[in-house]
Chains A and B, each alone.
Chain A
Amino acid sequence: MSTTQLKNAFSFENAVKLGAGTDYENRAEFENAIGVYTEEKNENAIQIENLNLWYGKHQALKNISMDIPKNKVFSFIGPSGCGKSTFLRTMNRMNDMIQDCRIEGKIIIDDEEIYSRETDVTDLRKRVGMVFQKANPFPMSIYENVAYGPKIHGVSKKEIPSIVEESLKAAALWDEVKDRLKSPALSLSGGQQQRLCIARTLAVKPEIILFDEPCSALDPISTGKIEELMTELKKKYTIIIVTHNMQQATRISDYTAFFLSGELIVSGKTAQIFENPQDKRTEGYITGRFG
């Protein structure tokens, strides 16, 4: 039985037809009792509608529309230059800093159109955190790195030590650094630095975290730790990850989107995309024939 058939079987209309609908006053009450659709409602963390992006005259993103579900790991795959990182960066408006970058279309987060004039970019970036390809800790102590975000957002001094501890624990780094919080962040290993950057992002309490190829500069062990961490983090956060590593996408993500030359070719459940690719290009890429 397909999902659609299932949905129809449990619909209010079907219930009325079968006579069970009389037990309920209206559709909402029915759906509430059955609990089928209610779970899916407002489940999207981000909605993207007809997004186009140009760098000067070059169109880097072409009419992309998709939804990013809440509390899932969503991975973006595709060959270099396909626009997946650019797309990721539209969601916290990091492309704003690039000259000649022009954007059309809508991105909606929390019922707010983030490219509208009223949007406070600072507040948006607080809600949509980002972890970069190469770990970029600030040249200060481990503690100060994590405390940086809360401090600039005016969190009271009393709360900061506990936020730092919580964030480092959530990033699975606390045990390794708790005795040397005052030492420079740059003295940490590459993998630890990347987890510190994750902790730094968690410290501002985001809802969504964007990962831009977070493991591409790391060894397999550090990569494993970060993947484990993401699976843990999706309980509380919505995660989007750009990755070049197909295995990584299959291991950690619930959903996958495949991009090619600025177009969204396909997006859906990871298992579906990898096991049963409908599109020739997708199949070619994931089986390593090009990319």
Chain B
Amino acid sequence: MTNRQIRDFKEKSMKSLFFIGGVGTIFVLILICLFLFTETLNFFKTYDFIEFVTGFEWKPGTNPAQYGLLPLLAGTLIVTGGAIILAVPIGILSAIYIAESSGPKTAEILKSSVEFLAGIPSVVLGFFGLIILVPAIQSAFDLTTGQTALTGSVILAIMALPTIISISEDAISAVPAPLKQGSFALGANRWQTIYKVIIPAAFSGISAAIILGIGRAVGETMAVMMVTGNMAIIPGSELFLSSVRTITATIALEMGETAKGTEHYYALFAVGAVLFILTLGINLVADAVKKKQRAGV
């Protein structure tokens, strides 16, 4: 082979390698989707779709078994909602502090700690929640058990914080310096500049950060399972202080004890599909918001 042929061969083989890598990911994604949705369809062959979507009871053990989605969905939503309420203000405030107010050294330390926080395995957080938070919440609110939606929310908030902080901080730091200077030159002080110029300019980036943080919280399993009590009930007046069971926890808890091919087995896939759609939706919204940021609107 001539040098040129060798070079062409190298070029082509590298190209195909990258192609296989790229297409491989998509292929795996398609396989998972196919698998998830065929198993889900199997469930609806024996169980009524409407009954699944509107059912208030999740009782796989009773006869006939009841597979109502609502208590699980309510569990996921309430735990995630609580996490958002806790994590969003804290996350945005610390992002602003890191990007705008702290000195370079403090910012470096804070950024590293945020990354470190992201690196803590969820089981460890769950463990921390179980040993420290659960008893604390139990005694603080005088409950029979500290395993509540609130406990799950606190743990999830801790897990969502790194995402919210680092992405919002990026968005805030990306606000062009001339904009800030323009505001200062008009006699605005630091707070007015942050509140009226920087945050509006970084708004879509901050929104994307929040949405991605939520995305992370919705899909989290282990830590939540360890601290929320796992009672498949729709929370009543206690709301955040009630025990709940999330979609993720349900699948993780019950998958091991179901025989393959049973209705219960398929029901878990149906619940999984709901979660999939939920997170997919969240990611699509985040994507759209990020694109808007790039377009500079």
Given known pairs A132-B182, A197-B182, the reply for A139 and B200 (CB within 8 Å) is: yes
**A125 in contact with B296 (CB, 8 Å):** no
**B186 in contact with A148 (CB, 8 Å):** yes
**B185 in contact with A125 (CB, 8 Å):** yes
Q: How far is the CB of A139 from chain B (nearest CB, A)?
A: 5
Chain A residues lying within 8 Å of B22, measured Cβ to Cβ, are: none
Asked if A129 is at the interface of the complex by the 8 Å CB criterion, the answer is yes
**A200 in contact with B186 (CB, 8 Å):** yes
**A129 in contact with B186 (CB, 8 Å):** yes
Q: Do most interface residues of chain B lie in helix, strand or loop, or is the interface mixed? A: helix
A:74-101 near B, CB below 8 Å: 92, 94, 97
**B187 in contact with A132 (CB, 8 Å):** no
- Chain A 225-258 against B: per-residue CB contact (8 Å), 1 yes, 0 no? 0000000000000000000000000000000000
When the two chains form the complex, which single residue of B182, B189, B296 contacts A138, counting CB atoms closer than 8 Å? B182
- Chain A 120-153 against B: per-residue CB contact (8 Å), 1 yes, 0 no? 0011111001101010111110000000110011
- A132–B185 Cα distance when bound, in Å, is 9
**A138 in contact with B183 (CB, 8 Å):** yes
**A136 in contact with B176 (CB, 8 Å):** yes
Interface range for B: 10 to 19
Asked if A260 is at the interface of the complex by the 8 Å CB criterion, the answer is no
Asked if B214 is at the interface of the complex by the 8 Å CB criterion, the answer is no
**A204 in contact with B178 (CB, 8 Å):** no
**B186 in contact with A134 (CB, 8 Å):** no
Asked if A186 is at the interface of the complex by the 8 Å CB criterion, the answer is yes
**A152 in contact with B187 (CB, 8 Å):** yes
Asked if B184 is at the interface of the complex by the 8 Å CB criterion, the answer is yes
**B181 in contact with A132 (CB, 8 Å):** yes
> Whose C-beta in chain A lies nearest to the C-beta of B175?
A139
Asked if A201 is at the interface of the complex by the 8 Å CB criterion, the answer is yes
Chain B residues lying within 8 Å of A123, measured Cβ to Cβ, are: 187
- A171–B6 Cα distance when bound, in Å, is 66
A:177-205 near B, CB below 8 Å: 184, 186, 197, 200-201, 204
Chain A residues lying within 8 Å of B14, measured Cβ to Cβ, are: none
Given known pairs A139-B200, A139-B296, the reply for A153 and B187 (CB within 8 Å) is: yes
- A153–B187 Cα distance when bound, in Å, is 8
Asked if B201 is at the interface of the complex by the 8 Å CB criterion, the answer is yes
Chain B residues lying within 8 Å of A92, measured Cβ to Cβ, are: 185
Chain B residues lying within 8 Å of A134, measured Cβ to Cβ, are: 178
- A36–B57 Cα distance when bound, in Å, is 98
**B179 in contact with A136 (CB, 8 Å):** yes
Chain B residues lying within 8 Å of A132, measured Cβ to Cβ, are: 178, 181-182, 185
Q: How far is the CB of B4 from chain A (nearest CB, A)?
A: 47
Contacts A/B (CB < 8 Å), 16 sampled: A125-B185, A125-B186, A125-B187, A126-B187, A130-B185, A132-B181, A136-B179, A136-B182, A138-B179, A138-B197, A138-B201, A148-B188, A148-B196, A149-B186, A152-B192, A152-B196
Given contact pairs A138-B200, A152-B186, A200-B182, enumerate 6 new A-B contacts (beta carbons under 8 Å). Answer: A94-B181, A94-B185, A122-B189, A136-B179, A152-B188, A204-B187
